């Protein structure tokens, strides 16, 4: 009889505890249940700006009046088509190889032996990918110049490539980062001067194809880590202060694809899979 009473008491206790647990989960913990980050009433926190490069055909042609005739509508459509991009632009961003960080002047900041090997490996990778690169733009800083020349030396179509040098692509303090870091605190004036230059470079090189361009194109920019990370944030319409949250290996490949509609796709970010482990470096 004693054991039957004990068993019944244990059963009641279990049910009681189970009920309390269920009550706790349903009521007390209700606020802690993980919800979807979106619902059926989803509203983007930031809408995509299709005219981010100021080259959308709809922004270049005067809007049509609501009561426009069929003839006017046809003329308007012809103007839109005349200004509409028709080809895809591929922007290949390449960071320079490892260099002598102890150099005081830019001329002393030459590539190390490892940096030269990295540049050649990246040139081999671009050759292997068979990108029909038509234009290569190289930062005027020594380490980028050396990297660009070594990469070009590996390409089979180097004689047909249009090569340019551009001071706007030089390294700099692109934008005040968030969160801030202790070991890198440029003077505020550097952000004002460098950002204006690098933003101008972005507008010059990163945009949809011109209406007269009929074939897809590949342009390579050999430059620097800060510049590339800033370009990626700007092209994807991410907050520019987020650029320092990314890291790029030396001589790595970043690949942006810009569609005629203005849509941008990041196909590669800091790709260095073509390098053996011994050739990898970041700083």
| Final residue belonging to a domain, choices 25, 60, 84 | 84
Q: What does pLDDT average to over the chain?
A: 89
Q: Which helix (H) or strand (E) holds 163?
A: strand 162-166
One domain for residues 68 and 202 = no
Tell whether omega for the bond before 87 is within 30 degrees of 0, i.e. cis.
no
Closest to 99 (Cα-Cα) out of 152, 150, 60: 150
Is 138 inside a domain boundary?
A: yes
Mean pLDDT calculated for residue range 85-113:
97
* Cα–Cα distance list, 164 to 91, 92, 140, 250 (Å): 15, 15, 10, 21
Q: Which of 9-13, 94-98, 242-246 has the lowest mean pLDDT?
A: 9-13
Q: What is the pLDDT of residue 237?
A: 97
pTM: 0.84
201-242: pLDDT as tens digits:
999 999 999 999 999 999 999 999 999 999 999 999 999 999
CA–CA dist 8, 257 (Å, integer): 71
Q: What is the pLDDT of residue 24?
A: 54
One domain for residues 68 and 205 = no
One domain for residues 214 and 273 = yes
Q: What is the pLDDT of residue 263?
A: 97
Does the pLDDT value for residue 60 go beyond 50?
yes
CA–CA dist 148, 222 (Å, integer): 6
Q: How confident is the model at residue 119 (pLDDT cuts 50, 70, 90)?
A: very high
| Final residue belonging to a domain, choices 62, 84, 106 | 84
More confident residue, 50 or 185: 50
Cβ-Cβ contacts under 8 Å for 201 (sequence gap 6 or more): 166, 168, 169, 227
Q: How confident is the model at residue 18 (pLDDT cuts 50, 70, 90)?
A: low
Q: What is the pLDDT of residue 187?
A: 85
What b/e sequence results for 132-150 when a residue is b if at least 16 CB atoms lie within 10 Å of its CB, and e otherwise?
A: ebeebbbbebbbbbbbbbb
Is 126 inside a domain boundary?
A: yes
Does the pLDDT value for residue 12 go beyond 50?
no
Query: 82 with 60: CB under 8 angstroms?
Result: no
Is 233 inside a domain boundary?
A: yes
Domain residue limits at 77: 51-84
Considering its fold, how many domains does the chain have in total? 2
Q: What is the pLDDT of residue 73?
A: 85
One domain for residues 112 and 175 = yes
Q: How confident is the model at residue 283 (pLDDT cuts 50, 70, 90)?
A: confident
Q: What is the DSSP letter of 257?
A: E
H runs (alpha helix) in the chain: 2-23, 57-60, 70-83, 113-129, 142-154, 188-205, 225-235
Query: 224 with 141: CB under 8 angstroms?
Result: yes
25-50: pLDDT as tens digits:
555 555 566 666 666 666 777 889 99
One domain for residues 142 and 195 = yes
One domain for residues 237 and 257 = yes
Query: 141 with 112: CB under 8 angstroms?
Result: no
Q: What is the DSSP letter of 26?
A: I
Q: What is the DSSP letter of 25?
A: I
CA–CA dist 34, 251 (Å, integer): 41
Does the pLDDT value for residue 182 go beyond 90?
no
DSSP symbols for 140-156 = SSHHHHHHHHHHHHH-T
Query: 281 with 100: CB under 8 angstroms?
Result: no
**What's the CATH code of the domain at 263?**
3.40.50.1240
């Amino acid at each position: 009889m004693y054991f039957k009473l004990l068993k019944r008491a244990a059963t009641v206790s279990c049910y009681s505890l189970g009920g309390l647990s269920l009550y706790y989960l349903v009521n007390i913990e209700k606020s802690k249940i993980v919800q979807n980050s979106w619902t059926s009433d989803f509203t983007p926190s930031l809408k995509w700006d299709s005219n981010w490069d100021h080259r959308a055909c709809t922004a270049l042609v005067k809007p049509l009046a609501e009561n426009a005739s069929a003839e006017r509508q046809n003329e308007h459509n012809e103007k839109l088509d005349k200004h509409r991009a028709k080809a895809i632009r591929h922007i290949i961003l390449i960071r320079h190889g490892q260099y002598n960080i102890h150099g005081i002047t830019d001329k002393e900041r030459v590539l190390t032996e490892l940096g030269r090997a990295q540049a050649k490996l990246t040139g081999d990778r671009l050759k292997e990918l068979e990108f029909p690169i038509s234009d290569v733009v190289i930062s005027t800083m020594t380490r980028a110049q050396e990297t660009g020349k070594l990469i070009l030396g590996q390409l089979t179509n180097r004689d047909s490539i249009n090569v340019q040098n551009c001071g706007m692509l030089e390294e700099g303090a692109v934008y005040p980062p968030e969160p801030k870091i202790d070991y890198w605190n440029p003077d505020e004036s550097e952000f004002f001067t460098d950002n204006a230059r690098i933003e101008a470079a972005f507008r010059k090189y990163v945009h949809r194809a011109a209406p007269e361009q009929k074939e897809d194109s590949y342009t390579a920019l050999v430059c620097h880590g800060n510049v590339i990370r800033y370009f990626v944030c700007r092209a994807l319409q991410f907050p520019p202060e987020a650029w320092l949250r990314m890291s790029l290996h030396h001589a790595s490949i970043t690949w942006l694809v810009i569609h005629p509609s203005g849509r941008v796709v990041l196909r590669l970010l800091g790709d260095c899979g073509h390098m053996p482990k011994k050739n990898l470096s970041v700083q």
